[in-house]
C-alpha cells in the first residue's frame, strides 16, 4: 500500500463500547482506531489508540487505495458510514461500516469488532476478478507482537490473527495475508463477479481479551467470528433499529446532532468479564459525569442503568457518602455533587420507568445519601456546603463559586 496522507480528524463515526474509528475526509478506512480496554485498573482503563488501517481494491491490474477514490458519501453520522465510488468504469463499489449496536440486547454493543461490508457490482458483459485488502497498523504494545497467521474459520470465512487482534473476511472465495511487514496485520479477500453480477464480502477488524465482557458468550476469536458470521444480517439490522429509535422532531439537523451526542454515551461505556459496567467520566464511574452519559442507557438499555445504580449503592460509605469515583475508587471526602447526582439518578430512573420495586431496593441508600448531604449544611441555612471557602476545590459543589 502507498503512503497515506495525514488528514483532518473527522469524528469517530463508527463505534461501540469496545472499539471506535473515524473515516477521513478522503475516505480512508480508518484514520484512527480507538480501543476501550476491558479493565478498571489505574493506568490500564483509559481509552487508547489502536493504530490505523486502510483498504485497497483491485480489479484485474487496476489497484486503488481507499483515499484515492472519489467517494459519494451517503451517510457519515454516528453510528454508521455509507459511501459509494466507481472503482473502474465497469465496477461499482459500496462501503457500509459500523460497530455492532442493538436496541434489543446489551450484548452487541460489547462486540469488539468494526464491521465493513464491501459490495462489488459488475456492470460489464465480462467476468471480473476482484480483491479487497485490509491492513491494520495495530499497536503491538496493546495486542501483542506475534507473527500474523491465516486461519480458515469456516467455508468462505477467513481470519488473520496477530496476538489479540484480528482481521476477518466473510464470503470471500480465497484469502491470503498481503503485507510483507509482519508488524502489520493484513488480509486480502478475493471474489469473481459474473457479468452484471454483484457480491458482498464482509471484513471485521477487532480484538479479544480474556477480560472482555463478550467472553460470557465467546471464549476465543474463532468462536467470536463464527458467531458474528451467523448474525451478519442481525447486526446490520440492529444498527438500523438503533438509528430508527433516535427521537425526531422533523428537523434532520437536530436528529444528526442527537446521533452524534449519543456517541459519547456508548463509547464511554465500559464493562469486563466481572459483569460490572460503568459509563466513564475520565476513566471511572463519577456520578456527575455518568448521570449525563447514561441518558441513552436509561431509555434503551435500562438494565445497564440499574446495574450502575446498584454498583454505586454497593460502594456507599457507612456515613452515606458516595465516593467521588469508583472503578477505580478515588475519594475527595467533601464533594457534595456526587451524592446529589446519585440521588437524582435514582429519582430519574423511577420517574422514567415507574419501577417501585427497584426504588424500594435503593431507598435506604437514597436516604443515607440525603442524610450525609444534611451534615454538609455547615452554617444552618438549609443549603449543603462543599467545604470551607478556603478549600480551592470547592467549585465542584457549585461551579458558579469560582471567582471570575
The closest of 161, 207, 214, 219 to 186, measured between CA atoms, is 161
Cα 281 off chain centre by: 15
Instruction: Name the E strands within 300-354.
Output: 325-326
Range of weakest confidence among 154-158, 223-227, 342-346, 374-378: 374-378
What pLDDT shows up at residue 201? Answer: 98
CA separation, residue 402 to residues 40, 99, 281, 336, 390 (Å): 32, 41, 21, 16, 12
**What whole-number percentage of the chain has pLDDT above 90?**
81
CB-based contacts of 12, cutoff 8 Å, min separation 6: 20, 21, 22, 32, 34, 78, 263, 267
- Per-residue pLDDT tens digits for 280-291: 887 899 999 999
Nearest CA to 189 out of 202, 167, 177, 172 is that of 172
Cα angle value 193/199/138 (rounded, 5°): 110
What would the mean pLDDT of 178-201 be, rounded to a whole number?
94
Confidence label for 248 from pLDDT (cuts 50, 70 and 90): confident
pLDDT for the residue numbered 37: 95
Residue 28 sits at φ, ψ, to 5 deg, of: -75, 130
pLDDT recorded at residue 404: 47
* pLDDT score recorded for residue 397: 63
Cell numbers at 67, concatenated: 483515499
- pLDDT at site 392: 61
Cβ pair 134, 187 in contact under 8 A? yes
Provide the pLDDT for residue 10: 81
Q: What is the pLDDT of residues 61-115, one digit of tens each?
A: 889 999 999 999 999 999 999 999 999 999 999 999 999 999 999 999 999 999 9
The confidence band for 403, taking pLDDT boundaries of 50, 70 and 90, is low
Residues in the chain: 404
Integer Cα distance of 87 and 85 in angstroms:
6
Q: Is residue 1 scored above 80 in pLDDT?
A: no
Residue 394's pLDDT band, with cuts at 50, 70 and 90, is low
Rounded percentage of the chain residues whose pLDDT exceeds 70: 95
**Looking at per-residue confidence, does 233 or 6 come out higher?**
233
Say what the pLDDT of residue 388 is. 67
Q: Is the overall model pTM greater than 0.85, yes or no?
A: yes
pLDDT at 35: 96
Instruction: Taking residues 230-253, report their average pLDDT.
Output: 95
Amino acid at each position: 500500500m502507498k503512503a497515506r496522507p495525514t488528514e483532518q480528524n473527522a469524528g469517530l463515526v463508527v463505534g461501540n463500547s469496545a472499539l471506535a474509528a473515524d473515516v477521513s475526509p478522503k475516505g480512508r478506512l480508518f484514520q484512527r482506531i480507538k480501543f476501550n480496554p476491558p479493565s478498571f485498573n489505574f493506568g490500564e482503563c483509559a481509552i487508547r489508540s489502536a493504530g490505523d488501517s486502510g483498504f485497497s481494491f483491485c480489479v484485474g491490474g487496476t489497484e486503488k487505495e481507499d483515499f484515492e477514490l472519489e467517494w459519494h458519501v451517503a451517510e457519515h453520522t454516528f453510528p454508521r458510514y455509507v459511501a459509494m465510488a466507481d472503482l473502474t468504469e465497469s465496477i461499482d463499489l459500496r462501503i457500509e461500516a459500523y460497530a455492532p449496536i442493538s436496541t434489543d440486547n446489551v450484548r452487541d454493543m460489547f462486540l469488539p469488532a468494526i464491521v465493513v461490508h464491501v459490495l462489488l457490482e459488475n456492470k460489464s458483459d465480462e467476468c471480473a476478478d476482484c480483491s479487497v485488502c485490509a491492513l491494520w497498523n495495530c499497536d503491538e504494545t496493546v495486542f501483542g507482537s506475534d507473527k500474523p497467521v491465516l486461519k480458515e474459520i469456516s467455508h468462505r470465512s477467513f481470519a488473520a490473527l496477530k496476538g489479540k487482534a484480528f482481521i476477518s473476511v466473510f464470503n470471500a472465495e480465497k484469502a491470503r495475508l498481503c503485507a510483507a511487514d509482519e508488524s502489520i496485520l493484513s488480509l486480502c479477500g478475493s471474489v469473481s463477479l459474473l457479468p452484471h453480477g454483484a457480491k458482498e464480502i464482509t471484513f471485521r477488524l477487532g480484538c479479544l481479551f480474556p477480560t472482555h465482557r463478550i467472553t460470557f458468550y465467546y471464549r476465543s476469536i474463532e468462536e467470536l467470528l463464527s458467531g458474528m458470521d451467523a448474525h451478519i444480517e442481525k447486526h446490520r439490522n440492529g444498527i438500523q433499529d438503533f438509528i430508527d429509535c433516535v427521537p425526531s422532531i422533523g428537523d434532520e439537523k437536530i436528529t444528526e446532532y442527537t446521533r452524534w451526542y449519543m456517541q459519547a454515551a456508548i463509547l464511554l461505556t465500559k464493562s469486563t468479564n466481572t459483569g460490572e459496567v460503568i459509563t466513564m467520566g475520565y476513566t471511572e464511574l463519577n456520578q456527575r459525569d455518568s448521570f449525563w452519559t447514561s441518558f441513552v442507557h436509561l431509555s434503551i438499555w435500562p438494565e445497564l442503568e440499574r446495574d450502575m445504580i446498584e454498583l454505586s449503592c454497593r460502594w456507599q460509605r457507612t456515613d452515606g457518602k458516595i465516593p467521588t469515583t469508583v472503578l477505580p475508587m478515588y475519594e475527595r471526602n467533601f464533594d457534595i455533587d456526587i451524592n446529589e447526582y446519585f440521588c437524582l439518578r435514582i429519582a430519574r430512573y423511577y420517574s422514567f420507568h415507574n419501577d417501585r420495586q427497584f426504588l424500594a431496593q435503593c431507598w435506604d441508600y437514597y436516604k443515607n445519601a440525603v442524610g450525609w448531604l444534611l451534615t454538609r449544611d455547615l452554617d444552618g441555612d438549609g443549603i449543603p456546603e462543599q467545604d470551607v471557602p478556603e478549600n480551592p476545590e470547592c467549585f465542584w459543589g457549585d461551579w458558579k463559586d469560582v471567582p471570575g
